[in-house]
Amino acid sequence: MKNWKDDLKEFFEEGDIDRARKKRDAEIRLKVKKFYSSRVQPAFKKLKKELERYGREVSIAVSDNIAAIEVEFEGRLELNYQVKVRQVYPYPEIHYQDASGNGIWAEGNFREGIRKFDISSLSTEEIMQNFLREYKARLWILYKKQATDI
pTM: 0.81
Stated as kind and residue range, the H or E segment containing 39 is none
Q: Is the dihedral of CA 99, 101, 107, 111 positive or negative?
A: positive
Query: CB-based contacts of 3: which residues, under 8 Å, 6+ apart?
Result: none
Give the helix, strand, coil percentages of the chain, each rounded to 5: 55, 25, 20
Tens of pLDDT, residue by residue over 98-122, are 777 788 899 998 988 777 789 999 9
Tens of pLDDT, residue by residue over 53-71, are 999 999 999 999 999 999 9
- Structural domain of 138: 4-149
Total domains in the fold of the chain: 1
